[in-house]
Amino acid sequence: MALQLVEVTADHGHVDTLVALGEHKGAIDVYADERSDMDRCLVRIVISTKRVQELLDGIQAAIGAQADWRAVVLPIQASVPSPGPSVKAVSDDEPRKFSFASITVSREAIWNEINKGARLDLNFIILSVLSTITAAIGLLTDNVAVVIGAMVIAPLLGPNLAFAFGTALGDRGLMVRAFGTNVLGIAISLALSYAIGALWTGPLDSPELVSRTVVGYESIALALAAGAAAVLSLTTGLSSTLVGVMVAVALLPPAATLGIMLGAGNYFAAGSAALLLAVNIVCVNLVAQLVFVVKGIGPRTWAQKQASRPARYINAISWFVLLMGLITGIWYAQQSGGVAPNQGFEAPSTDNLTGN
């Protein structure tokens, strides 16, 4: 059974409340260190990872109005002796219950992790520039390994997941930061790849490049599945699976393809790349928001839930309407004879680029 250590520092008068909360939530061990000379207490609670969220919510409900307290959640790599039979999460006499809605990472831990993806700083800008250059080189030279490298960097996945998480919590500040970071990241990718496409004098027939101008219904299914996997990896603590998600639903290669085709003057192919980019963004945001809600991740208090409910509905409906529009766009593109996977595009000649 995975365990975590919750350390709470608060006024001395809250020690009995904190100890009772730990015992009520099924803690493995509760230890209270009372400092009579400092009028403070330190309560250490060893508890199952699956029950950390319940404990944190209980602490906030009990002493959240007090400003002078703090709870810190720490991972436990090993615990000796092992928890006895009396504290097993599932006893031998009870049937095992599997619930998709259960989470193994607390709301606060997810927020702390996902907030990094919404942070707009120099590191994000540098990563966006480097990953765009990497993706463009890989696409133009048909180097699969280089394209995958750009996918793994994945600076655009974080802001989209942060936006969906902010929607689930009703955190407008996080949503605004994530939206701004996402827009700037896409703008950097488009501007840089546009310049590369305008300067490129070779043919645009690389299979890696042309494949990003082909979009079908399978693209929607892939983006939905990968978006759901991304959220599940966050809520279950399996962050290592995010690497696979980054490759499966990479946003940067379609964005780089869009800029390259615009720079080369091939607007039809650019439209197809834009459609693929839009499919990935819409599907990731829609399914991520739905999975967060199904997993029970939302505001803590009833008042916060009521206040954020209209925004969640509006966002979900908006993403769904956009998805329906994209499905219509895919159908129209197929009916009008979209770009085939083996069809290449010729770049403008050097004479055209120099104006001669």
pLDDT tens track for 299-321 = 777 677 777 778 788 888 999 99
Q: Which fold has domain 3-77?
A: Alpha-Beta Plaits (3.30.70)
pTM over 0.95: no
Which residues of the chain form CATH 3.30.70.120? 3-77
Dist CA 220 CA 123 (whole Å): 31
pLDDT at 195: 95
Beta partners for residue 45, in sequence order: 6, 30
Q: Which of 108, 99, 12 is nearest to 54 (CA)?
A: 108
Q: Which of 186, 189, 195, 209 is nearest to 339 (CA)?
A: 209
What is the token pair recorded at 133? 């250059």
Write the DSSP string, 296-343: T-S-SSHHHHHHHHHHHHHHHHHHHHHHHHHHHHHHHHHHTT---TT-
* DSSP reduced 3-state for 67: coil
Q: At what angle do helices 107-114 and 217-235 cross, to 10 degrees?
A: 120
Per-residue pLDDT 10s for the chain (356 aa) are 688 888 988 888 888 888 888 888 888 888 888 765 568 888 899 988 888 888 888 888 888 766 688 888 888 888 777 766 555 444 444 445 545 555 567 777 888 888 887 888 899 999 999 999 999 999 999 888 888 888 877 788 889 889 988 888 888 888 999 999 999 999 999 999 999 999 988 888 889 899 888 888 998 998 898 888 888 887 776 665 555 556 656 788 899 999 999 999 999 889 889 999 999 999 999 998 888 888 888 777 767 777 777 878 888 899 999 999 999 988 887 777 654 444 444 444 434 433 44
Name residue 123's amino acid: N
Longest dimension (CA), the chain: 86
